[in-house]
């Protein structure tokens, strides 16, 4: 009878191991053989992902062995890659819209706030350049700037080599600026569009890929202009009048 029981247990063990795929990489396995060698009445602390066979649970009950699973460590938040970092900035006129957009963006991106941090007056070129330089340096994936009209920030950002800033006022311009122009900085006018439209524009802009193809050569020509700006002319001193013989 004992031999028959042992055969049954061995057969069940094979089936269980085949079903759960043991050995499983990185996971411990607790079977009845181990528990039969464990002193009666002890408490075993197991890793959270330990595989316990049905026979092991039966033996544990028979031998009054308590099986306790240790607390799982808190999950480690996955680090957001640099390709998903978005820099955002605004002057005092775009401060409230910036704060609202930050909340929306935080669900999917690592947001870098380049200011301003209040409604106190600031100069929009300073904010625009702070965002644009992060984009140009590759520190962030994209940049978003908000001021009253979006125009001045666009002008300032485009002075930074490597930046292709586009002012967008609806979803169509957001798509076009990405598909055709590969814009890497978006500027918005808080005085021209409402918060709901701003969110739609941002989502569309961030979610639209560059079309490439015939557009790639044209964008390359835009980028080439970064190194083709004319050098300011240096005034050349006027030549001294030639001396002539007086005949004397």
Active-site residue list: 180
φ/ψ (deg, to 5) at 89: -155, 160
* 212 backbone φψ class: left, alpha, beta (φ>0; ψ -120 to 50): left
Nearest to 137 by CA among 119, 114, 117, 120: 114
CA separation for the pair 224, 210 (Å, rounded): 18
CA-CA distances (angstroms) from residue 24 to 30, 52, 157, 238? Answer: 12, 12, 54, 87
CA separation for the pair 81, 78 (Å, rounded): 9
């Amino acid at each position: 009878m004992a031999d028959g029981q042992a055969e049954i247990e061995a057969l069940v063990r094979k089936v269980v191991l085949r079903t759960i795929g043991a050995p499983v990489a990185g996971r411990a396995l607790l079977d009845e053989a181990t528990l039969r060698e464990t002193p009666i009445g002890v408490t075993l602390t197991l890793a959270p992902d330990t595989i316990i066979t049905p026979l092991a649970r039966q033996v544990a009950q028979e031998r009054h062995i308590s099986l306790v699973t240790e607390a799982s460590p808190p999950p480690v938040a996955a680090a957001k890659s640099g390709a998903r970092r978005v820099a955002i900035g605004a002057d005092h006129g775009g401060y409230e819209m910036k704060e609202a957009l930050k909340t929306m963006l935080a669900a999917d991106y690592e947001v870098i706030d380049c200011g301003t941090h209040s409604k106190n007056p600031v100069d929009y070129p300073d904010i625009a350049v702070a965002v644009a330089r992060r984009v140009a340096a590759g520190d962030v994936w994209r940049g978003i700037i908000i001021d009253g009209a979006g125009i001045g920030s666009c002008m300032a950002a485009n002075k930074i080599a490597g930046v292709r800033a586009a002012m967008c006022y609806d979803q169509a311009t957001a798509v076009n600026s990405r598909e055709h122009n590969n814009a890497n900085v978006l500027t918005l006018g808080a005085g021209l569009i409402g918060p709901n439209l701003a969110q739609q524009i941002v989502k569309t802009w961030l979610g639209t890929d560059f079309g490439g193809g015939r557009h790639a050569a044209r964008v390359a020509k835009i980028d080439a202009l970064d190194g083709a700006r004319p050098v300011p002319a240096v005034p050349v001193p006027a030549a001294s009048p030639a001396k002539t013989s007086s005949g004397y």
